[in-house]
A and B are shown apart, each in its own frame.
Chain A
Amino acid sequence: MSEGVYHPVLDPALAPPFPKAVLPVLRNPQLRKNVAHAIDVIQAKRGRLVAEKTDWQELRSAGAAIRTHALENLGTYLEQFEERCTAAGGTVHWAGDAAEARQIILNLLREEKASEVIKIKTMTSAEIQLNPFLEAAGVRTYETDLAEIILQLGEDEPSHIVVPALHVNRAQVREIFARRMGLKDLSDDPHALTAAARNYLRRKFLDIPTAISGANFLVAETGAVAVVESEGNGRMCLTLPRTMITLAGIEKVLPRFQDLEVMLQVLARSATGERMNPYTSIWTGVTPGDGPQRFHVVLLDNGRTSILAKTTERQTLRCIRCAACMNGCPVYRQTGGHAYGSVYPGPIGAILTPQLMQMHHAQTLPFASSLCGACYEVCPVKINIPEVLLELRSQVVDQERREAVRFFDPMYLGLRIANVIFAKAWLFHAAQFFGRIGLGLFTRKDGWIHSLPSVGAKWTQTRDLRGLPQQTFHGWWATRAAKPSGEAR
């Protein structure tokens, strides 16, 4: 971002921990305003369109059932997809990790002698950090999704999986376009901005014969790939180029073509608050004389198989990337996406990112939630995100509690002591007694605590705490029981 005070790092291996990463964001009124405004608009649209569906809960159940079935039989459906896609003239490649996927794509581009490539918005390519890799290898990448153009030209990073430039407002877009497209007199009228983008893109569509896409769904039954979008840039990439390379996570497969009936309904309403997204492209291999004549699908694992192996965590892979969870999340509404240090922000990112990192990075993300449950409530495929967050939290604690430095960490120490205390009522009561004396030292005459040291300071930085009352409830109960009749009637 041109005037940004920070540059977001979306590599989980390098990103700062979440509580630290949020600080510049929370101090940035423009960014917070942009995020909250955009979120509120999407949420209101979604709310209206979900409310008009009387069978919304049944649709969610159907969505969850389809995705669960596909994942439980993933091997079968992936092989079926490969067979049908190949029979229709496509070529399927299997990539175990990000590096392999990048290399496969680069090799394909070299076969095409491509020095430039146009791209349909794909978060999976951001996951494997494809653009910087290709640029370093001498292949210029051109994003064609409006939001992605804004980010690419603004040298910024996506902060949302459906609306990647959600944190940027119209005036900022104008500034980026004016500077990078050399349009001094550009206004911030939306029509003028889209016209500028259209002019910029039109030449790329006509000149560059190689395209890269992601996939919203793969259909095992027919070998088809489905991409949904709002702007028509995807449709352009699917008609003009000679060669199309589709990168898709292995979890994207659906068993039957008919399953799209449910998935497209829940996706559009959840993602953009529309009954149907404007452009839905479904293509099967190669059709002579129509669209790209060379077609490759790169199927990416990159940690997905290991997620599939785990009972509670498996549901993460049901995700259809609608972003309803981040739009509904009260944490995301304050922080936006960059603080998550991953191309997958928000609640789904908080569970997906550390798992894709095999729990070696992004361990602060499972704690980046108040467990309010709004994400689960809106998820169109019923991923119980709070349940997975808790599972991952316990894994992180199990990792960390073995580290010597954690032994005297106030949080770890406090929770270990609390566990001992809660095991015996008399210990609990003694702790209450000593706690009252200890906190009494910090309690002012008005009966409130205004400032605490250590972990407590994290509380008192913005809130007071009422001093502990002289008598506990159980203490009151005991004195009351000792009297002949209850006095509080």
Chain B
Amino acid sequence: MRASLFITCYNDTLYPETGRAVVKLLERLGVELDFHPKQTCCGQMHANTGFRAEAYSQAKRFVRIYQDTETIVIPSSSCVAMIRDQYPGLFEELGNEELRKQFAALLPRVYELSEFLIDRLKVEDVGAYFPHRVTYHASCHGLRALHLGDRPWRLMDKVRGLEQVPLANLDRCCGFGGTFSVKNGEVSSAMLAVKLQDIVATGAEFCTALDNSCLMHLGGAMHRQYAGMKTIHLAEILASTEGHPAEALA
């Protein structure tokens, strides 16, 4: 199977280890991965901050770059939600019928990472080994926009050595919200404080998620507060093996 990796702008810049883990994981599962060198950003930041004209150009660009691609894998639930939920409205408003059609044909081939593993590759046991206590944060976009459901847990269930610790108030936002975290920095921090209490209370070593934006928020607070926990993208757990443990363990 061939697939093209849309790494997303902030994973490319801030979390390259997540991208490396996706490559390691998917190639181990026999996927022939491809990386389009022209990719940049899906436009989520602009769209969610009200810069719609700018979001248009990013959305158009995404469709142009990927229109002939067989399958696109994205290790970020909020970017997939941007593409799935917001692109249709943007293109409709733009009134560009050709673009709308191209996008409609492309959309079924866009997968979030856990969707790609479970729905497309039909695999739950990815042969991972991660002997640590882990709690899963269900990012809002994964939970409510993509309806990822039990996919992340089905994947984690099969990771050897991994001990799952359930997180209380799983459906509550961590307070990141993109530019919300600075435009309303104080409210965002208040939400973060409440979320972090629940996460720390699990006693887990790692908090994982399918979106590095939430993890950047949570991890930033953990580091500030010497919380004794780390964040790690689920891709890195799934890529981890006895021979090649996750980079976060180095």
A22 vs B7: C-alpha distance when bound (angstroms): 36
Tell me the chain A residues, 451-486 only, with Cβ under 8 Å from chain B: 455-456, 458-459, 461-466, 468-469, 471-478, 486
A462/B185 in contact, CB under 8 A: yes
B40/A373 in contact, CB under 8 A: no
Q: Which of A398, A419, A455, A486 has the most CB of B within 10 A?
A: A419
Total A-B residue contacts, Cβ distance less than 8 Å? 203
A395 vs B93: C-alpha distance when bound (angstroms): 14
B192/A419 in contact, CB under 8 A: no
Chain A residues with CB under 8 Å of B191's CB are 330-331, 334, 370
B113 CB to closest chain A CB (Å) equals 14
B190/A334 in contact, CB under 8 A: yes
Footprint of B on A, CB under 8 Å? Answer: 18-19, 22-23, 26, 32, 330-331, 333-335, 366-374, 376-377, 387, 390, 393-398, 411, 415-416, 418-419, 421-425, 428, 432, 435, 448, 450, 455-456, 458-459, 461-466, 468-469, 471-478, 486, 488-489
A394/B51 in contact, CB under 8 A: yes
- Is B177 in contact with chain A by the CB < 8 A criterion? yes
A459/B172 in contact, CB under 8 A: no
The number of chain B residues touching the other chain, given as a range, is 35 or more
Name the residue on B nearest A331 (C-beta): B187
Name the residue on A nearest B58 (C-beta): A422
Q: Top 4 A-B pairs ranked by shortest CB distance?
A: A370-B177, A463-B220, A393-B50, A473-B19
Known contacts A373-B140, A411-B179: does B12 contact A462 (CB below 8 Å)? no
A483 CB to closest chain B CB (Å) equals 13
A366 vs B187: C-alpha distance when bound (angstroms): 14
Chain B residues with CB under 8 Å of A333's CB are 194
A406 CB to closest chain B CB (Å) equals 12
B12/A26 in contact, CB under 8 A: no
Chain B residues with CB under 8 Å of A369's CB are 177, 180
A455 vs B178: C-alpha distance when bound (angstroms): 13
Instruction: Choose from A390, A448, A459 the contact partner of B47 (Cβ within 8 Å).
Output: A390
Known contacts A422-B40, A462-B224: does B173 contact A472 (CB below 8 Å)? no
- Is B182 in contact with chain A by the CB < 8 A criterion? yes
A472/B12 in contact, CB under 8 A: yes
Instruction: Choose from A22, A415, A423, A432 the contact partner of B61 (Cβ within 8 Å).
Output: A423
Known contacts A415-B45, A422-B40, A463-B217: does B13 contact A370 (CB below 8 Å)? no
Instruction: Choose from A19, A331, A387 the contact partner of B183 (Cβ within 8 Å).
Output: A19
B57/A415 in contact, CB under 8 A: no
Knowing that A422-B57, A466-B223 are A-B contacts, what are 6 other residue pairs whose CB atoms are under 8 Å apart, sorted by A's residue number? A371-B177, A390-B50, A416-B54, A419-B58, A432-B12, A461-B189
Name the residue on B nearest A410 (C-beta): B182
B7/A459 in contact, CB under 8 A: no
Name the residue on A nearest B86 (C-beta): A390
B16/A471 in contact, CB under 8 A: yes
Chain A residues with CB under 8 Å of B54's CB are 415-416, 418-419
A477/B183 in contact, CB under 8 A: no
A394/B50 in contact, CB under 8 A: yes
A374/B171 in contact, CB under 8 A: yes
Instruction: Choose from B23, B38, B49 the contact partner of A488 (Cβ within 8 Å).
Output: B23
A443 CB to closest chain B CB (Å) equals 13
Contact string against A for B residues 94-134, beta-carbon threshold 8 Å, 1 for contact and 0 otherwise: 00000000000000000000000000000000000000000
A396 vs B183: C-alpha distance when bound (angstroms): 14
Chain B residues with CB under 8 Å of A471's CB are 16
Name the residue on B nearest A424 (C-beta): B40
- Is B48 in contact with chain A by the CB < 8 A criterion? yes
- Is B14 in contact with chain A by the CB < 8 A criterion? yes
10 contacts between A and B (CB under 8 A): A395-B50, A397-B52, A415-B49, A428-B40, A455-B182, A458-B182, A463-B192, A473-B18, A473-B20, A474-B12
Chain A residues with CB under 8 Å of B23's CB are 477, 486, 488
A367/B183 in contact, CB under 8 A: yes
Chain A residues with CB under 8 Å of B210's CB are none
Chain B residues with CB under 8 Å of A423's CB are 40, 57, 61
Chain A residues with CB under 8 Å of B177's CB are 369-372
A397 vs B230: C-alpha distance when bound (angstroms): 37
A265 vs B191: C-alpha distance when bound (angstroms): 32
A416 vs B27: C-alpha distance when bound (angstroms): 37
B187/A488 in contact, CB under 8 A: no
- Is B152 in contact with chain A by the CB < 8 A criterion? no
B182/A415 in contact, CB under 8 A: no
B184/A368 in contact, CB under 8 A: yes
Chain B residues with CB under 8 Å of A330's CB are 172-173, 175, 191, 194
Chain A residues with CB under 8 Å of B39's CB are 425
Chain B residues with CB under 8 Å of A459's CB are 181-182, 185, 220
A459 vs B12: C-alpha distance when bound (angstroms): 20
B186/A26 in contact, CB under 8 A: yes
A423 vs B43: C-alpha distance when bound (angstroms): 10
Name the residue on A nearest B180 (C-beta): A370
B29 CB to closest chain A CB (Å) equals 11
Q: Which of B24, B49, B57, B194 has the most CB of A within 10 A?
A: B49
A159 vs B244: C-alpha distance when bound (angstroms): 54
B129 CB to closest chain A CB (Å) equals 16
Instruction: Choose from A415, A425, A432, A435 the contact partner of B51 (Cβ within 8 Å).
Output: A415
Chain B residues with CB under 8 Å of A489's CB are 24, 27-28
A236 CB to closest chain B CB (Å) equals 40
A27 CB to closest chain B CB (Å) equals 9
Instruction: Choose from B41, B141, B172 the contact partner of A422 (Cβ within 8 Å).
Output: B41
Tell me the chain B residues, 29-68 only, with Cβ under 8 Å from chain A: 35, 37-41, 43, 45-52, 54, 57-58, 61
Chain A residues with CB under 8 Å of B24's CB are 488-489
- Is B221 in contact with chain A by the CB < 8 A criterion? yes
B224/A374 in contact, CB under 8 A: no
A267 CB to closest chain B CB (Å) equals 23
A476 vs B37: C-alpha distance when bound (angstroms): 12
Chain A residues with CB under 8 Å of B20's CB are 473, 476, 488
- Is B176 in contact with chain A by the CB < 8 A criterion? yes
- Is B188 in contact with chain A by the CB < 8 A criterion? yes
B185/A473 in contact, CB under 8 A: no
